[in-house]
Structure 1
Amino acid sequence: MVNERQTDTCADVMYRRERQRGCGEAGLDFAPFIPSQDEVDQQMSALDDKLVSKAQEQYANREIYPLDECYQLDGSTFISAEAFEEILGDEQTHYMAWKNGCIDKLSIDYWEMPDVMAYLVERSIAEGDGGECCYTDAQPIDYAEDCAYSPSEMLECLGANWQEQGVADDGLSYALYGHPNINVENVSGSMMVVSTEQPGLSVMVDYRSGIWVVQPFAHDESFGSAIQFGERLAPVEAGLLRPNVYQHFFGGETCV
């Protein structure tokens, strides 16, 4: 019943807005439509639910590259520009103003004034703490945190500083882009990169005196020669877990 009421309210808001626009085009004097705070909250909350659901889906599928430009819904939730614009349509500025807390009993009187809404959005972003809804890059997105084991955990045990740990985790996050089937596990203190699509293949990653050592495994048996990477090959340009390195071990489109 609540969902039906929310749908009715959203439809009512849109009807009155279209009626106002039609009267204006006909040259009739018609008072500006001002929705109530509850109407705005219900309409924007419904859109917010759709955006958050889509953002969670994209994160689970690792669809957004950490350097891509996208929309930030809050400090830790990102959604592609295409999905954001498709879901919101003409309500983008309204939603961002509402999401950033710009709408109150005073500002709601300007709901149908696009320039005012845009100004409120710009000001909220400029004066905010970085967690506002805005157009930005996805650099803070962290796919590594969903893995069972991370490079920073391994490096911490080895006494590496926090900068080295951060760079290593960034490299893993970049490498995991586009590969939701990849996980990293702890095997005797080393990282084992595994694929749910090809469970017989894995890659052991170890760190020895500033050198990254990568050893492929097939059915728990090592094969081929280990590959070594120096610190200068750390991400972003080459990457701690550079995708084309792992093509030799996982093969095709399912590689890390």
Structure 2
Amino acid sequence: MTLLAVAQLSKSFDGVHAVDDVSFDLEGGRLLALIGPNGAGKSTCFNMINGQLKPDSGVIRFAGHDIAGMRPRDIWRLGVARTFQIAATFNSMTVLENVQMALLSRERRVYRLFQRVASWREDEAMALLDLVGMSMHAHRSCAVLAYGDVKRVELAIALANHPKLLLMDEPTAGMAPQERNELMALTARLAKERNIGVLFTEHSMDVVFSHADTLIVLARGRVIAQGDAQAIRNDARVREVYLGTGASFSPRVSSRAGAST
């Protein structure tokens, strides 16, 4: 069953189409990689799905809800979680406290932080850390963790919301090859066990080809190829974008000239 359906999604800035008539579907338990060169429109797609940007046109349906233009926190409450290219954790807190904060937010108790929360949902937080292999570091400060471990904590924080859809923006950026493949293997396992749809962007092609069930390639805001790893490897237009000049994919000028960024 389709979890996320994106149809004819478009967004322009200063008269140039950043995203131009993009459509794709994602099912629960599957990993979909959105790839392409810098400026392809990947982050703009993410930001529209997650609510940071409002589309100029198009449809975004998640679990039966039309979420195009909704606020990020309302989309999050429907079951959409996100990790970021630069991991976002509270360095002044322990690993356990970071996950507890996510659980507090899920329960909408963020405005009651004056109460003692040191033991609040501790068992649930520890279970999430155990899932990502970080329970042994629960009482360490996030500030002293290796970067790969911070990425695992961020994944635990994302899972605190029991997401149906997980958006991962460059999840392995800054990680060593072994670390990044371990993180994506873990993500793939959890996605299948929990029936979570995962949409991710990634520049490490070893990660993409090893773990994505489906790949979508963007160039200058447009979908130029879609399929499994073998189909994408053999696609002549994809090879042109990555290995050639990409000149045949010049941006179209939008009729909405002068649109704000």
Specify which structure has the higher proportion of helix.
1
TM-score range, shorter-chain basis?
A: under 0.3
In the superposition, the TM-score normalised over structure 1's length comes to: 0.27
Compute the TM-score of the two structures, normalised by the length of structure 2: 0.26
Structure whose residues are more often strand by fraction: 2
Does 1 or 2 have the higher relative contact order (CA < 8 Å, sep 6+)?
Answer: 2
